[in-house]
Structure 1
Amino acid sequence: MVAVDRSFGHDGIPIPLVAAVGTAVAGHAYSQNDVLDLFGISDPKVRSLFGKSGIRRRFLTLPSGGPDGRLAEESQGDLLRKHRRIVVDMGVRAVGVCLARACLRPVDIGYLVCVTTTGFLTPGLSALLVREMDLAPDVQRLDVVGMGCNAAMNGLAAARAWCVANPGRVAVLVCAEACSAAYVFDSTMRTAVVNSLFGDGAAAVALTAPVVGAAVPDSAGRGRGGGLAPYLLSAASQVITSAVDAMRYDWDDAQGRFSFFLDRQIPYVIGAHVEAVVDRLLSGVGVRRSAVRHWLVHAGGRKVIDAVRVNLRLSRHDMRHTVAVLRDYGNLSSGSVLFSYERLVEEGSARAGDYGVLMAMGPGSTIETALIQWRWG
């Protein structure tokens, strides 16, 4: 019997795989009560909102206290400078962990995709990481800005396509979000909802497409020998144009800074559309929903997580990594789904043949999905 190489499609096109993942956080860990007390928030409705978030702690980079013990005020310029400092630092550390797990060096990166929404940079984060990490000066780069919490999936699609065109070479996706550089504190419930959710974090993932006859690393990054790894089979997305303004940045004239808005209807919008996009993702490769063993969903908030779970008829066990990331880090924007994937890798429960769905939701409003399968290289 002739062995079948599962790392190539029926058309002979290589199927990219995830070689390793790495994460990093910034600042200090704060409980929800810590944040409320530091900002002097006494409104019982706001305090109740924070308490019901499902978040135990978040990592935030907050300003130092003033003479009265209250946190110092930060201008929009202060926030932009903080964003640059934090995302570069977290990005370097997340990429470093990722490369070490895959037994790779910075110069091995042939394509660098950087995602961030919490601040604007020119030059982009990719150029700053090239300098900080001594990457090859001719590395190909892409900066994805403004796509929000679903942007990891869009960056993953770009990296996947590059790997197919460049088998044997390495692409790295970096999601770095300094959410504490994008906040407004006032007396409105609008800002309270946003401020109750987000944390600072970065995640990096290395992809490569196999070359005929070459061994690949496993999903834990144990060397360049053969191993078990998740292969990226397909992707599907849906832009819900009827809710295009449900998640957005607005300029707040009174505060002199950008202010993020989250519509209270978001969980219901996501819940109403999630089945269709997941079924389209799976039907394209002939996989039934019941065959999916691993669900790695963006930790967008307690109500969003519940909406996905209920509408897809998933168990609480299916959502354990998503819930745990929300509990321990809050909503990390684009990096959240990769934090959930890292939890699965650390758990070590994936087996050959298992299917997994990665899912993230964000502005647009958009649902982005990808299907992976663990295979021997």
Structure 2
Amino acid sequence: MGTSEEKQSMENKQDGVRLKYVKLGYHYLISNAMYICLLPIIVALAHLSIEDLVHLFHQHQLSLVSVTLVCTGLTVCLATLYFALRPREVYLLDFSAFKPDPSLMVSRETFMRQSKDTNSFSEETLAFQRKILERSGYGQKTYAPEAALEVPIDPTMAKARKEVEMVMFGAIDQLLAKTGVNVKDIGVVVVNCSLFNPTPSLSAMVVNRYKLRGNILSYNLGGMGCSASLISIDLAKRLLKDQSNSYALVVSTESMTLNWYGGNNRSMLITNCLFRLGGAAVLLTNRSSERRRSKYQLMQTLRTHKGADDKSFKCVVQQEDESKKVGIMLSRDLMAVAGEAIKTNITMLGPLVLPLSEQLLFLANLIGRKVFKMKMKQYVPDFKLAFEHICIHAGGRGVLDQIEKNLALTRWHMEPSRMTLYRFGNTSSSSLWYELAYTEAKGRVRKGDRLWQIAFGSGFKCNSVVWRALRTIDPNKEKSNPWTDEIEEFPIHVPDISPILV
């Protein structure tokens, strides 16, 4: 009996391998269909001799000079029209993900001790927080702001400012040191931080610190959630369209100091346990002269907003609890809402990035299900054919599990997101840049590679950005990469424990 089952299992595996290669052959056939169709014409032209071409020329009594002039004029007109109307390419010159001082590390035990010392949580609430930490997929070296590590915890506006200054200026200083760009050449500044919006704004703090020029286009994005970094990239791209030979500085961070929740509402306690200290700075440019030393070219930005739906709008809300204590409430609908937003975003992104072979399979499946009412599963396109690297916002273990399953991604593709969650925790909008830094530190980025960043957050929003590597990234030549000193330790196996909510 056992031998029969083993034989059947072996046959199923062989069938799966055959199907894999059949699909791979189909993909290459469709992707190169144009060249295959042109092959007969190329063969025919190859058999034409010089005498045949001269005879054809004289047969139509064409003047060599007139043909040359017409072709030259047409070429000049088309070239002028192309260079005048083409959109300016946007390049990612470099980026920097901030690595806090080791004194700000917070282990699970440290977090629980701080929570207990506040004397504001019941025993049941402490037990709930401990369970969240155990199932979070976090390691023992995530970071928290100084104010959260004090006894007693004493959050103030001054300490919150100190926190964001440390993260923002630390990331920007590293970035400017790596690129050598003169701050007077920066024409755009976009800063995003959801929960801390002081006056003057964070973007004004950056302008003041680095003495940026007076006509700088400065934007401060607040309340836009964990996907705000990609919104900032999209905004910077649009602003660079109206500026020639300029740079755009994008800074993404989150502040925890004034957003510690001290109540016992479980749906509002999760953010205490999951959010960690971090930030990143990115330098974009539309200078063609900078293409040679830039890392990536911006290919696509795609934003999806589900805020018109009440359930989506209310799934992540900053509000007061029954005791008038302010916190971030996460709805039980969060997973479903996030899944729907991601589905909408990738459905719109697919036609822009997927090879024709995958689009045809998706279309055939759609027609079969909707038109002919055939009972078949919805076909999920293979995004691994469109991208070499995928960075998914490290918002929580549960969401990563669902995306890995639904998109049939490999552990290798999920590794940057899972290791970022383990090492740095959920750093909100900046998590994508820790993931990209991980990919670079592993030496995985090769010239021509396509990279997809996707993030989701309150509102509810899901946003995607697609990059193409302009050069191979040598990890030994990278400066200020937060993973460099410990990259050999990763990937680390994280035990499979059922996550709670996110």
1:177-205 C-alpha deviation (Å, 9 max, x unpaired): 12243111233322331111001111010
Check conservation: 2:230, 2:463, Cα contact below 8 A: yes
1:141-187 C-alpha deviation (Å, 9 max, x unpaired): 01111101011011111111122332321101001212243111233
1:59 maps to 143
1:239 maps to 305
Against the structure 1 CA distance between its residues 265 and 10, is the aligned structure 2 distance closer, same or farther, given a 3 Å change threshold? farther
TM-score by length of 1: 0.86
| SS of residue in 1 equivalent to 2:158 | helix
Unmatched tracts of structure 1, length 5 or more? 1-7, 217-225
TM-score by length of 2: 0.65
The 5 A counterparts of 1:337-348 are 337-348=432-443
Against the structure 1 CA distance between its residues 134 and 169, is the aligned structure 2 distance closer, same or farther, given a 3 Å change threshold? same
TM-superposed CA distance for 1:138, in Å, is 2.9
Letter in 1 for 2:338: I
Against the structure 1 CA distance between its residues 9 and 85, is the aligned structure 2 distance closer, same or farther, given a 3 Å change threshold? farther
Against the structure 1 CA distance between its residues 126 and 273, is the aligned structure 2 distance closer, same or farther, given a 3 Å change threshold? closer
Letter in 1 for 2:346: V
Against the structure 1 CA distance between its residues 167 and 343, is the aligned structure 2 distance closer, same or farther, given a 3 Å change threshold? farther
Check conservation: 1:114, 1:155, Cα contact below 8 A: yes
Letter in 2 for 1:22: S
| SS of residue in 1 equivalent to 2:97 | strand
Check conservation: 2:163, 2:257, Cα contact below 8 A: no
- Structure-2 separation of matches of 1:239 and 1:12: 28
1:87 maps to 164
The 5 A counterparts of 1:50-199 are 50-56=133-139, 57-63=141-147, 71-74=151-154, 78=156, 80-199=157-276
Number of aligned pairs? 353
Extract structure 1 runs of 4+ deviating beyond 6 A.
Answer: none
| SS of residue in 1 equivalent to 2:409 | coil
Check conservation: 2:389, 2:413, Cα contact below 8 A: yes
Say which is worse superposed, 21-30 or 87-96, in terms of deviation: 21-30
Check conservation: 2:231, 2:303, Cα contact below 8 A: no
Residue 319 (structure 1) aligned with residue 414 (structure 2): yes
- Structure-2 separation of matches of 1:104 and 1:81: 31
- Structure-2 separation of matches of 1:182 and 1:60: 12
The 5 A counterparts of 1:252-271 are 252=321, 254-256=323-325, 258-271=326-339
1:209-234 C-alpha deviation (Å, 9 max, x unpaired): 133xx242xxxxxxxxx246321111
1:16 maps to 90
Say which is worse superposed, 347-356 or 365-374, in terms of deviation: 347-356
Residue 251 (structure 1) aligned with residue 320 (structure 2): yes
Higher strand fraction (1 or 2):
1
TM-superposed CA distance for 1:273, in Å, is 3.8
Letter in 1 for 2:454: M
Task: Report the RMSD for the aligned CA atoms in angstroms.
Answer: 2.6
- Structure-1 separation of matches of 2:98 and 2:287: 28
Check conservation: 2:254, 2:278, Cα contact below 8 A: yes
1:57-87 C-alpha deviation (Å, 9 max, x unpaired): 3211243888xxxx32536xx2x33222211
| SS of residue in 2 equivalent to 1:165 | coil
Against the structure 1 CA distance between its residues 133 and 252, is the aligned structure 2 distance closer, same or farther, given a 3 Å change threshold? farther
Bigger relative contact order (CA 8 A; separation at least 6):
1
Structure ID, larger Rg: 2
| SS of residue in 1 equivalent to 2:275 | coil
Letter in 2 for 1:247: V
Identity of aligned residues (%): 21
Check conservation: 2:263, 2:323, Cα contact below 8 A: no
